[in-house]
């Protein structure tokens, strides 16, 4: 199985244990998923499609990707650009972000249609997010969606996490319209109910799932914090329970690691429910540590 994630990886400043001090790493929603895929399913070829600058921090990021086992053949270099930066603030484990991404090279990741076509032709499972769409100019967003639609028609499996971040969009209307355009080109949708309820007025996780099914997805997995994960596949609905935690250190990559666990299960032949259960176990471990990318012993992926 060949896995391709598309999006932006940034320099991350996360709180350390010492007061008012931070440590620098690299992270970004779709990259986090690729990173965890490389950790828990090394038998899957995990690649990343993005763009970086030609400066030292961009080269450091490239070195980090390669050392992490994430293939960089689809990474483009943009002259006189750099990568974005974000800082995490924590309040009882819940995070908020401050961003600096005006010169981010990743905004040009969809500039070259040939790069998109080649990268997608080399993949079996292709993953993008609402943040991937948000950082692109409208015409480049349309180009990416068109390439994804063509890849889907060619038999590739397309997965999408709406990952609603209103601060990245010019208006809520533009955001919700673009999210549903993304939904229309995917086979697998991985929304989070809290966000969907806020911006689409869904009453229940089932309502969220039904909306993505109507948009064109075949499989929908609705994450809902500590509540059961609801899944829908065609006309079949079900739930997978979530084991609650007494204390959470950092929720930064909760959804990203969940997605990695789910994709790893999909790639290695787990059933839908077993894949969701493993995704929950992986996310549960990750949120007990600070930072997006957790250097800890992670749950072993069951055999399919």
Provide the CATH number for the domain formed by 2-286 in this structure. Answer: 3.40.1190.20
Summarised one tens digit per residue, pLDDT across range 154-177 is 999 999 999 999 999 999 999 999
Taking 70 as the threshold, does the pLDDT of residue 281 lie above it?
Answer: yes
* Beta strand 10-15 pairing with 22-27: antiparallel
* Nearest residue to 148 (alpha-carbon basis) of 168, 121, 171: 121
- If you average pLDDT over every residue of the chain, what do you get? 94
The dihedral over CA atoms of 148, 153, 155, 156, expressed in degrees to the nearest 10, equals: 10
Cα 216-233-162 angle, rounded to 5 deg: 50
Confirm if 209 and 202 have CB atoms less than 8 A apart: no
Which one of 29, 202, 250, 256 is the catalytic residue? 256
Question: Is residue 93 very low, low, confident or very high in pLDDT (cuts 50, 70, 90)?
Answer: low
What value does the mean pLDDT take over residues 31-43? 97
Helix (H, G, I), strand (E, B) or coil at 249: coil
- 205-259 pLDDT per residue, tens: 999 999 999 999 999 999 999 999 999 998 899 999 999 888 887 777 889 999 9
pLDDT in tens, 171-203: 999 999 999 999 999 999 999 999 999 999 999
Burial bucket for residue 219 (CB in 10 Å: 0-12, 13-18, 19+): buried
Q: What is the DSSP string of 179-236?
A: HHHHHTT-SEE--BHHHHHHHH--SSHHHHHHHHHHHT-SEEEEB-TTSPEEEEETTE
- Say if residue 60's pLDDT is above 80: yes
Please state the domain extents for the chain: 2-286
d(CA 164, CA 169): 9
Distance from C-alpha of 231 to C-alpha of 94, rounded to nearest angstrom: 25
Mean pLDDT, to the nearest integer, of 5-16? 91
Q: Residue 226: CA atoms inside 13 Å, Cβ hemisphere, count?
A: 8
Neighbours of 142 (CB within 10 A): 15
Closest CA relative to residue 96, chosen from 252, 220, 280, 281 = 252
Percentage of residues in the chain having pLDDT higher than 70: 99
Please report the sign of the dihedral spanned by the C-alpha atoms of residue 230, residue 232, residue 235, residue 236.
negative
What pLDDT shows up at residue 172?
97
pTM of the model: 0.94
The per-residue pLDDT for range 40-54, each reduced to its tens digit, is 999 999 999 999 999
Active site (annotated) includes residue 256: yes
Residue 69: pLDDT above 80? yes
């Amino acid at each position: 199985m060949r896995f391709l994630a598309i999006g932006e990886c940034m320099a991350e400043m996360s709180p350390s244990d010492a007061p008012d001090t931070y440590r620098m790493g690299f992270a970004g929603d779709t990259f986090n998923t690729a990173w965890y895929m490389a950790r828990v399913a090394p038998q899957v070829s995990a690649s990343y499609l993005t763009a970086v600058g030609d400066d030292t921090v961009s080269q450091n990021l490239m070195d980090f990707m390669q050392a992490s086992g994430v293939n960089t053949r689809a990474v483009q270099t943009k002259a006189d650009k750099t990568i974005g930066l974000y800082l995490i603030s924590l309040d009882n484990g819940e995070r908020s972000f401050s961003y600096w991404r005006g010169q981010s090279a990743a905004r040009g990741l969809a500039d070259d249609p040939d790069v998109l076509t080649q990268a997608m032709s080399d993949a079996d499972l292709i993953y993008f997010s609402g943040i991937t769409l948000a950082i692109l100019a409208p015409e480049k967003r349309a180009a990416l969606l068109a390439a994804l639609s063509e890849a889907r028609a060619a038999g590739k499996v397309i997965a999408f996490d709406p990952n609603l971040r209103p601060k990245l969009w010019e208006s809520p209307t533009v955001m919700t319209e673009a999210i549903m355009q993304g939904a229309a080109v995917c086979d697998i949708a991985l929304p989070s109910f809290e966000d969907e309820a806020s911006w689409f007025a869904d009453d229940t996780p089932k309502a969220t799932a039904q909306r993505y099914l109507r948009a064109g997805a075949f499989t929908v997995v609705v994450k809902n914090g500590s509540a059961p994960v609801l899944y829908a596949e065609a006309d079949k609905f079900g739930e997978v329970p979530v084991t609650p935690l007494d204390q959470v250190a950092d929720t930064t990559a909760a959804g990203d690691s969940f997605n990695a666990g789910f994709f790893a299960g999909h790639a290695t032949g787990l059933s839908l429910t077993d894949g969701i259960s493993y995704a929950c176990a992986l996310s549960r471990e990750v949120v007990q540590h600070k930072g997006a990318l957790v250097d800890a012993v992670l749950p072993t992926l069951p055999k399919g």
